[in-house]
Amino acid sequence: MEWLALALFVAVCGVLLFGYPVALTLAGVSLIFAALGIITNTFDASYMLTVPNRLFGIVNNTTLIAVPLFVFMGVVLERAKIAEDLLISMSSLMGRFRIGLGFSVVIVGMLLAASTGIVGATVVTMGLLSLPTMLKRGYSPQLATGTICATGTLGQIIPPSIALVLLGDVLGNAYQKAQLDMGIFSPDSVSVGDLFVGALIPGLVLVLMYLVYLWFVSIFRADHVPETGQHSEHGSIISLLSALLPPLLLIVAVLGSILLGFATPTEAAGVGAVGALVLAMLKKALSVDNVKYIMLETTKVTSMVFLILIGASIFSLVFRGFGGEELLKGFFSDLPGGMFSAIFIVMLIIFLLGFILDFIEITFVVVPIVAPILIMMGADPLWLGIMIAINLQTSFLTPPFGFALFYLRGVASDVIKTEQIYKGVIPFIAIQLLLLVIIAAFPALVTWLPDLL
């Protein structure tokens, strides 16, 4: 019976490769397997009676209210063209250096990640604004496209990240389940706020690693960057501050309220949504067409997330009903090397699944199954969460199905070849994997700040 659980997982991945919608595939294939299991007496039908309670729990989850609010905040800032002002001011000021425009793209991407958390919007905006300029200045297509794609994915790890909100909710449930299975009936919890705080230092380290890589390229691969910088008379500290202060104040309001304990992530998301509206009003960007676009995009993204969550909830229920969780427990416990071998295999599986699945599917399908097992084996839930988050970030960059690659391909000119985009992201994938190794060796990079606060 346990092998039917693995057959279910393989069947879901196979159907997804044919291009069927993720949410409907997860729920539909799982229900077909459950029906076959009931007919053949290999699946207990009583498991399906818990589906209504699971769906009500999803709809009634106050933590997940942060998802539409953060999406709303990001879409509002996108329509207010905050990124354009930032990039123009930053590149005008730093463009006098050979690698200055590359540095500007990374820094602006970091600020956008901390104020929007939406990967697609960042990649598309950067692709439209900075890619033509980088190519015109003399950057190689590989370096320009790789920098833009990698920078756009910073919204995965730098809070307030929608990925961290979803992962925090799943991990919190997994941590409590693991403690109950171990006989701890007053369990501790891991919140989305804890994950936000734990992700701050790794996120900043990743930005620093990107900048160091660009600096090395400018020295050792000089043919990939302009021969000289380009002085601009329009760049000034005042223009930079006027573009920088609004999103910076919003970042401080959102993250500061969480770090100082004044607000939960859900409440901070409300602060961010209102703050984004204020900034858009000050820039006179709230036209009727913009408001309509903002509401439609927020509804579409939120609906997609919750529909996938419902489908994944049904999948995990059927997977457990077939005994898949017990099969994985036995497999991991028999591994030589214990917890570290188990975590390595899980990280490898998540990395490989990133080639074909989005981070939302992996978060809702894989993490609820493996996280309780790893936590019971001794893994720190906060450290495990950040490791998974960084690993999931690579799913946006890994060819051929990385979403950041699709976003940039959609807005890049025909002069840019898809092969050049693929080559350009490979060094940044290696940097992210290197960060995983560093965090595995030095867990304090994740746990020190939350412990301090």
Measure the CA–CA gap between 211 and 103, rounded to whole angstroms. Answer: 6
Largest pairwise CA distance in the chain: 77
Its pTM stands at: 0.83
Residues 172-181: contacts with CB within 8 Å, 24+ apart? 172/63, 173/368, 174/367, 174/368, 174/371, 174/372, 174/375, 174/381, 175/371, 175/372, 175/375, 175/381, 177/372, 178/371, 178/372, 178/373, 178/375, 178/376, 178/381, 181/372, 181/376
pLDDT in the model for residue 47: 83
Q: What is the mean pLDDT of the chain?
A: 84
Place 234 in a pLDDT band, splitting at 50, 70 and 90: low
What is the average pLDDT across 385-392?
Answer: 91
Instruction: Locate 311 and state its tokens.
Output: 């489908």
Residue matched to tokens 């036995």: 330
Q: Select the more confidently predicted residue: 279 or 92.
A: 279
Q: Where are the domains of the chain?
A: 66-299+320-452
Choose among 326, 134, 368, 108: nearest CA to 230: 134
Mean pLDDT of 380-388: 91
Residues in the chain: 453
pLDDT digit string (tens) for 287-331?
Answer: 899 899 999 988 988 888 888 888 888 888 888 888 877 777 777
Q: Residue 172's closest CA among 343, 255, 268, 57?
A: 57
Cα distance between residue 239 and residue 132, in whole Å: 22
pLDDT digits (tens, 9 = 90+) for 416-453: 888 888 889 999 999 999 999 999 999 999 999 988 87
45-57 pLDDT, tens digit each = 888 888 888 888 8
Position 116 scores a pLDDT of 66
Q: How far is CA 369 from CA 118, 312, 348, in A?
A: 26, 11, 15
